[in-house]
């Protein structure tokens, strides 16, 4: 087989595999830089040989996204844009025409349909011909009008995006975010395609219109600019755009290049579209590209530097990601010294080794990446043990990608949820230790077990220098830790995270054993079984936990760190004995519903989460509310009382 034809086949297979991984599986087997470089090489070979394979990514618009969302065929196929990195090519495209230049936003393309002034349908781009129906999710986009003044049928296209600020905030709150969402585009895609729009709503997705497909009866005087202006009058945010000619294109590209450094939303380039609608439509399309528009991607600013090490960063999923650490360089106006390598496959593909001369750049002028390894020593190897816990690692092959995992189920990096419970409000109540912060402290070795949380002053300088921290944040955290030293025995027992032991169970167990810590450690299944509300399963779980000496020792060490005041004598009347309460809504007189619950339990009552025929009172300050709990309480004839009513009951 001809060498060039063979190379073309290799490129088609490799690029399709990379795109499939990115679009269907949310994983990356190569950088954007590498993909673009190989894509350009394939295009060059196709032009040289005069051959284009049916499976080539240069003619196939994209893969169908896999999900459980309903599918729908687009009325008009959504084509990709031809692209260039040369301003001279844009000048050639413009000739004597005027055009609009705007951001090429990096999110998820959506087609919206409005009828009679109301949003009727929202469909993702999908593979260009068939998309996913996400109408319910679009209804909760932060800036999307659900009703507009225009009453005819309106069809428009735009980009759903998540801003960098929201990405950083949300990133820390999303389960397994390290494994799933590496950038705002992936987070946006996952958010828009949720089966529950409650999740979408929390992600702060925004929509920016970039193309009007149809609006019958509206006169736009053959101008894209007037279409954009009209869309704005209907309440849509339109992608930022400027009018441009061949004489001004260079200065406009330069303007956007400077603006991207502070741009709130991710962009992977610019788009040029003719203002003259009729002229643009008269040009038609190629098999893949419309001829009325063109995409521009900046030439990446590339710097050479020396790779000093590969740092291995574990996450709560057990995944251990390689991170390249290199001698600092200036890129796009900032100093850069680290870049994610994503997985072992990319590390091996680049043949990375300490001391290698590498080229680095910022993808989309934002995210540091390795473009090329010039010396390719290939000496970097995946570690045999986890850098956090020392447990054995294993290499897993998933979707043609090698990834590294820690096999130790007790690895601290995997125990973020346990640490999160330990510092939660019902446990030790330590403010300033979010799940994301705990994960950072664990990865850096500041926290190995619960006791270490009480000695974070050992890492004062390191914490103050961390991103998002400073003197004030550190002092607040230190004070919160000190305040947590004064607690109760039930809260300490609950904070251990023993399976099936909630705060209510912890309270009855501590009370049954007279708050005697030795008796708590040595409790027998038979003794626990005798406690009302405990039962055999909980009893066995409890005993199994303290059967391990490491757990007993941890509990003893924690007792040395905290101060547990003597319990007040049970002099309070058990006025709520045998009564069941449900608490809902916000509190006015109490800090939170937990305080009300504690008070009820101290007076002999019980608090449950849902209204049933056994409920005696529903506490809700909004007595007239039409919520499901209020409705059920009314249907069952259960009294709905306010906080004031509850306080009066206490005084009786």
pLDDT tens profile 79-118: 888 788 888 889 998 999 999 999 999 899 999 999 998 8
Task: Give phi and psi for 173, each to the nearest 5.
Answer: -100, -10
Question: Please, what is the average pLDDT of the chain?
Answer: 84
* Average pLDDT per 10 consecutive residues for the chain, totaling 652 residues: 79 82 65 79 82 69 55 81 85 92 92 92 87 88 88 94 84 50 78 80 90 92 95 92 93 88 85 92 82 83 92 80 91 82 90 94 77 93 90 83 86 80 88 85 87 92 82 89 91 87 82 89 89 77 91 94 70 79 82 78 84 90 83 90 83 60
Between CA 404 and CA 12 the distance in angstroms is: 28
**pLDDT score recorded for residue 171:** 67
Contact 618, 600 (CB under 8 A): no
Between CA 546 and CA 349 the distance in angstroms is: 48
Neighbours of 484 (CB within 10 A): 22
CA distances for 239 relative to 105, 270, 315, 505, angstroms? 8, 11, 36, 55
With helix as H, strand as E and coil as C, how does 581-597 read? EEECCCCCCCCCHHHHH
CA distances for 383 relative to 37, 92, 397, 487, angstroms? 31, 52, 16, 41
Say which residue the tokens 């055999």 belong to: 536
Does residue 265 sit in helix, strand or coil?
Answer: coil
Report which of 299, 279, 283, 302 is spatially closest to residue 291, judged by C-alpha positions: 283
Contact 543, 529 (CB under 8 A): no
Check the CA dihedral 67-71-75-77 and report its sign. Answer: positive
Q: Residue 326 is encoded by which pair of tokens? A: 């290199």
Report which of 311, 324, 549 is spatially closest to residue 445, judged by C-alpha positions: 311
With helix as H, strand as E and coil as C, how does 597-627 read? HHHHHHCCCEEECCCCCCCCEEECCCCCCCC
> CA 270, 272, 274: angle at the middle one, nearest 5?
165
**pLDDT score recorded for residue 213:** 92
Q: State the DSSP code for 32.
A: H
Task: Give phi and psi for 112, each to the nearest 5.
Answer: -110, 145
Neighbours of 524 (CB within 10 A): 11
Contact 364, 256 (CB under 8 A): no
Q: What is the pLDDT of residues 581-598, one digit of tens each?
A: 999 887 777 667 777 887
Between CA 159 and CA 148 the distance in angstroms is: 19
**pLDDT score recorded for residue 100:** 95
List strands edge to edge, sheet with 154-161: 118-124, 108-115, 154-161, 206-215
Is residue 135 packed enough to be buried (19+ CB in 10 Å), middle (13-18) or exposed (0-12)? middle
Check the CA dihedral 424-426-428-432 and report its sign. Answer: positive
Q: Residue 553 is encoded by which pair of tokens? A: 């020792």
**Hey, which residues does 157 pair with through a beta bridge?**
111, 211
Task: Give phi and psi for 25, each to the nearest 5.
Answer: -115, 0
The residues carrying an active-site annotation are: 104
> Quick one: residue 269, left, alpha or beta (phi over 0 = left, psi -120 to 50 = alpha)?
left
The structure's pTM equals 0.51
CA distances for 274 relative to 290, 292, 528, angstroms? 11, 6, 78
DSSP string for 363-413: ETTTEEEEEEESS--------SB-TTT--BEEEEEETTEEEEEE--TT-GG
Q: What is the pLDDT of residues 534-549, one digit of tens each?
A: 777 788 889 999 999 9
Contact 32, 25 (CB under 8 A): no
Between CA 12 and CA 7 the distance in angstroms is: 9
Q: What is the pLDDT of residues 121-178, one digit of tens each?
A: 999 988 888 888 999 889 889 888 888 889 999 999 999 999 888 887 776 655 443 4
Helices 32-49, 3-24: inter-axial angle, 10-degree rounding = 140
- Percent of the chain as helix, strand, coil, to the nearest 5: 40, 20, 40
**pLDDT score recorded for residue 120:** 93
Neighbours of 209 (CB within 10 A): 21
Check the CA dihedral 84-89-91-96 and report its sign. Answer: negative
> CA 624, 627, 629: angle at the middle one, nearest 5?
100
Calculate what percentage of the chain has a pLDDT beyond 90. 33
Neighbours of 425 (CB within 10 A): 12
Helix (H) or strand (E) holding 641: strand 640-641
CA distances for 652 relative to 37, 96, 319, 576, angstroms? 79, 88, 58, 12
Q: How remote is the C-alpha of 536 from its chain's centroid?
A: 40
């Amino acid at each position: 087989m001809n060498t060039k034809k063979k190379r073309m086949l290799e490129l088609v297979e490799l690029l399709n595999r990379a795109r499939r991984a990115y679009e269907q599986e949310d994983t990356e087997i190569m950088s954007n830089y590498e993909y673009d470089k190989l894509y350009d090489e394939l295009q060059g070979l196709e032009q040289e040989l005069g051959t284009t394979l049916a499976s080539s990514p240069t003619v196939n618009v994209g893969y169908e996204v896999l999900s459980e969302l309903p599918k729908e065929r687009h009325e008009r196929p959504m084509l990709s844009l031809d692209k260039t990195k040369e301003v001279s090519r844009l000048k050639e495209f413009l000739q004597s025409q005027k055009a609009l230049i705007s951001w090429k936003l990096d999110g998820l393309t959506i087609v919206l349909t409005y009828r009679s002034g109301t949003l009727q349908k929202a469909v993702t781009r999908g593979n260009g011909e068939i998309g996913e129906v996400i109408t319910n999710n679009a209804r909760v986009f932060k800036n999307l009008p659900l009703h507009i003044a225009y009453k005819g049928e309106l069809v428009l296209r735009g980009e759903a995006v998540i801003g960098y600020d929201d990405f950083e905030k949300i990133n820390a709150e999303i389960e397994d975010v390290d494994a799933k969402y590496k950038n705002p585009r992936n987070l946006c895609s996952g958010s828009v395609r949720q089966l529950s729009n409650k999740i979408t709503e929390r992600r702060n997705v925004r929509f920016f219109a970039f193309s009007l497909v149809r609006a019958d009866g509206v006169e736009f005087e053959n101008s894209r600019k007037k279409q954009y202006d009209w869309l704005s009058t209907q309440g849509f945010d339109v992608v930022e755009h400027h009018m441009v000619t061949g004489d001004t294109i260079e200065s406009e590209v330069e303007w956007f290049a400077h603006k991207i450094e502070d741009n709130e939303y991710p962009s992977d380039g610019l788009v040029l579209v003719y203002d003259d609608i009729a002229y643009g439509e008269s040009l038609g399309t190629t098999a893949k590209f419309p001829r009325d528009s063109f995409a521009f991607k900046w030439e990446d600013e590339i710097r050479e530097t020396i790779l000093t090490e590969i740092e291995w960063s574990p996450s709560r999923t057990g995944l251990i990601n390689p991170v390249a650490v290199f001698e600092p360089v200036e890129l796009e106006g900032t100093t850069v010294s680290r870049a994610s390598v994503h997985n072992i496959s990319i590390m091996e593909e680049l043949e990375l080794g300490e001391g290698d001369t590498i080229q680095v750049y910022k993808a989309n002028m934002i995210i540091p990446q390795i473009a090329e390894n010039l010396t390719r020593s290939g000496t970097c190897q995946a570690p045999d043990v986890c850098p956090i816990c020392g447990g054995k690692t294993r290499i897993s092959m998933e979707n043609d990608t090698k990834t590294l995992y820690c096999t130790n189920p007790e690895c601290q990096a995997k125990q973020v949820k346990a640490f999160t419970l330990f510092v939660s409000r019902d446990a030790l109540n330590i403010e300033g230790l979010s799940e994301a912060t705990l994960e950072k402290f664990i990865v850096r070795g500041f926290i190995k077990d619960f006791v270490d949380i009480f000695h974070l002053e050992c890492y004062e300088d390191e914490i103050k220098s961390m991103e998002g921290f400073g003197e004030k944040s550190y002092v607040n955290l230190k004070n919160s830790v000190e305040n947590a030293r004064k607690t109760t025995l039930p809260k300490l027992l609950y904070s251990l995270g023993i399976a099936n032991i909630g705060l209510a169970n912890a309270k009855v167990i501590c009370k049954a054993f007279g708050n005697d810590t030795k008796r708590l450690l040595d409790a027998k299944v038979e003794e626990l079984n005798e406690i009302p509300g405990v039962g055999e399963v909980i009893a066995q779980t409890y005993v199994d936990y303290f059967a391990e000496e490491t757990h007993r020792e941890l509990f003893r060490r924690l007792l040395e760190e905290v101060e547990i005041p003597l319990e007040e004598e049970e002099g309070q009347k058990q006025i709520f004995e045998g009564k069941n309460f449900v608490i809902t809504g916000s509190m006015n007189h109490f800090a939170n519903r937990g305080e009300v619950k504690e008070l009820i339990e101290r007076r002999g009552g019980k608090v449950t989460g849902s209204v049933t025929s056994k409920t005696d009172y529903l506490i809700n300050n909004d007595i007239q509310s039409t919520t499901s709990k209020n409705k059920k309480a009314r249907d069952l004839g259960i009294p709905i009382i306010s906080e004031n009513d509850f306080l009066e009951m206490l005084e009786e």
